[in-house]
Structure 1
């Protein structure tokens, strides 16, 4: 049962949790994961995963903000590095 904290802190772990809680529409956990992901400096690979979230998950407002941040992040990166 989710109680507003998670021991997972890695971007991929938080993304996995986000996808699972999206299936069950646990809004508070989706908000928590999205906020934590936005705080982290992530690799381009993780950023691309944000853009590939399932439709149902990506349509939640707080997750949409994460996706918008990911798009901006990609726009300003040199992907040749």
Structure 2
């Protein structure tokens, strides 16, 4: 029998907002939820765990975002060290 998880347990496993998870689902980049009843949606635990493992493997390939240019800040600008 497949084990399913509800939203609160999913949030503990995947620390993303509901809207981010929804967008990932819509793009096909996250396991789809399904309805057990009209008011209860769940995710397949095995699919979520497989997604997490795939993300772990791909995390080495992800480019890190560049550091922001603090000299362009409007509040608390940083002066050039000259």
Task: Indicate the TM-score class for this superposition, using the shorter chain for normalisation.
Answer: under 0.3
Bigger strand share: 2
Bigger helix share: 1
TM-score, normalising length from structure 1? 0.27
